[in-house]
Amino acid sequence: MSAADPPVPALAERAAACAERLRAADRVLLASHIDADGLTSGAIASNALERAGIDHETVFEKQLDEESIAGIAAREFETVLFTDFGSGQLDVIADHEAAGDFTPVIADHHQPADADTEYHLNPLLFGIDGASELSGAGASYVLAHALDPANRDLAALAVVGAVGDMQGGTEGLTGANEGIVDHAVAAGVLETRTDIALYGRQTRPLPKLLEYASDVRIPGISNDEAGAIAFLSELDIDVKADGDWRRWVDLDDAERRTLVSALLQRAVSSGVPASRIEELVGTSYTLTDEEPGTALRDVSEYSTLLNATARYERADVGLAVCLGERGAPLERARTLLRNHRRNLSEGLQWVKTEGVVEEDNLQWFDAGSRIRETIVGIVAGMAIGSPAVDRSKPIVAFAEKDAEHVKVSSRGSHRLVRQGLDLSAVMREASRAVGGDGGGHDVAAGATIPSGTQREFVAAADAIVGEQLE
């Protein structure tokens, strides 16, 4: 593959136009979202702008709405680059463009609003699924490559963003994402291989790797510390070194094959369905420039680390890590990650204890101030993947945003999407019915609504989901 070959040919012409607009700007305001996809999107764009000698500043927003867009306009930048959001707010952005407040350039993958602008780079405009085939970071990388094909090394961050946005499965990234993976591999910054599909290959001691592997539940091992230790102790490999448990990354290929074989045998003998057993092995992505045995070495662990920064008002930390800073920023990110994991665990336990309210077509819970509004969507996703919640219905979660507003997050399943579910439309229509606004993807979306309108919102959302799934 030539370095000049575009990663996503269908987007090449639009990306080139967006790149030309950025080159013509005296200075650019870069605005991005705060999750792992948003942070990597911002880092890719910032790196590309810096290398192109384009003066810029970077800001992050938890949510792009009329108020935040007005704040962006007030900064009086002639050109604003939106990454990992902007498409869903095109109607508002277009009004500011028409008023001469700024010229927008958008690299996003969310459902566009009923408006458009000249410099709008979004896979959905070209028949590519933005929920599963190209992330916000992917769109940012397509733009970065259009600015300069030498930016191929930034493709690694785009892979982190895609995985952090829950794109791909055990089979790995698909669709337009494959072109980005190819670029990262060709640049020598990414390795792909078939490996055990458990989170924590780089950092978790083997017992914890197996105990916490809840996606494929194996009786006597999953969520069972003593059972995981007993299973490992029966294997014909050294699972400890100098008295400490080894990690997956510490094992050689033969030892890994032994462990995987034994795990598959245990799953079969325990009655785990064959379709689930197949999910124990899949495609893994390793960042070759990062130190082995660290969270940054594994794409999944890297994305989780990033999620733990900006969701706690420290987007600067996540951006610094993405831009290559280590030392103090990385240590701060690790501290935030420990806190993030504790909050997620407590949030999920609260949902399991309190339960959810069942409607005809969806289920919901209102966490109030008990779960941070920046992580309630993650908790909702964890809940719908647990035995405590019905997977046959989408879940809607509420959390207090401020004294006057409530954050809404929704999660579904790809099976429901195949049946017609589009949570982006649900969030947008139901929120606007109560004086709010929202959007996102078909399988995961969010909104902000006025406090006190939750019941009215649920009624509207339940009706819309019912119509979609008829």
Per-residue pLDDT for 368 more than 90? yes
Query: How far from 412 is each of 44, 155, 362, 424, CA to CA, in Å?
Result: 29, 29, 9, 11
In whole angstroms, what is the distance from residue 193 CA to residue 41 CA? 25
Task: Give the per-residue pLDDT at 266.
Answer: 95
In whole angstroms, what is the distance from residue 253 CA to residue 235 CA? 15
| 385 DSSP 8-state letter | T
**Strands 244-245, 240-241: pairing kind:** antiparallel
The amino acid at 423: L
Task: Give the per-residue pLDDT at 451.
Answer: 97
Of residues 327 and 215, which shows the higher confidence score? 327
Question: Which helix (H) or strand (E) element contains residue 30?
Answer: strand 27-32
Average pLDDT score over residue span 22-45: 96
Q: What is the pLDDT of residues 223-270, one digit of tens each?
A: 899 999 999 999 989 999 999 999 999 999 999 999 999 999 999 999
In whole angstroms, what is the distance from residue 71 CA to residue 267 CA? 54
Bridge partners of 56?
28
**Strands 405-411, 444-450: pairing kind:** antiparallel
Inter-residue contact 136 to 108 (CB < 8 Å): yes
Per-residue pLDDT for 169 more than 80? no
| 252 DSSP 8-state letter | -
In whole angstroms, what is the distance from residue 357 CA to residue 363 CA? 5
Q: What is the pLDDT of residues 83-103, one digit of tens each?
A: 999 999 999 999 999 999 999
**Strands 405-411, 190-196: pairing kind:** unpaired
3-state secondary structure of 387: coil
Phi, psi of 371 (to 5 degrees): -125, 135
Inter-residue contact 114 to 88 (CB < 8 Å): no
In whole angstroms, what is the distance from residue 117 CA to residue 90 CA? 8
Position 1 confidence tier, pLDDT thresholds 50, 70, 90: low
Per-residue pLDDT for 213 more than 90? no
Token pair listed for 191: 């390795």
Task: Give the per-residue pLDDT at 295.
Answer: 92
In whole angstroms, what is the distance from residue 289 CA to residue 302 CA? 13
Position 189 confidence tier, pLDDT thresholds 50, 70, 90: very high
Length of the chain: 470
Task: Give the per-residue pLDDT at 373.
Answer: 94
Quick one: what percent of the chain has pLDDT higher than 90? 83
Task: Give the per-residue pLDDT at 384.
Answer: 83
Q: What is the pLDDT of residues 266-324, one digit of tens each?
A: 999 999 999 889 889 999 999 999 999 999 999 999 999 998 998 888 999 999 999 99
Average pLDDT score over residue span 14-42: 97
Average pLDDT score over residue span 408-420: 91
Inter-residue contact 80 to 31 (CB < 8 Å): yes
In whole angstroms, what is the distance from residue 454 CA to residue 357 CA? 12
- The residues near 305 (Cβ < 8 Å, ≥ 6 apart) are 295, 296, 318, 321, 333, 334, 337
End-to-end CA gap in the chain: 46
Position 443 confidence tier, pLDDT thresholds 50, 70, 90: confident
Hey, what domains does the chain have and what are their CATH numbers?
9-189 (3.90.1640.30), 196-342 (no CATH), 355-468 (3.10.310.40)
316 Cα distance to chain centroid? 18
Q: What is the pLDDT of residues 332-349, one digit of tens each?
A: 999 999 999 899 999 999
Token pair listed for 26: 């005296």
Largest CA distance in the chain: 71
Query: Across all residues in the chain, what is the average pLDDT?
Result: 94
Q: What is the dihedral of CA 347, 283, 441, 124, to 10 degrees?
A: 160
DSSP H helix total and E strand total for the chain:
18, 15
The sign one gets for the Cα dihedral 234, 238, 242, 247 is negative
DSSP string covering 191-213, please? EEEEEE--TTTTTSBHHHHHHT-
Per-residue pLDDT for 356 more than 70? yes
Task: Give the per-residue pLDDT at 131.
Answer: 87
Inter-residue contact 37 to 134 (CB < 8 Å): no
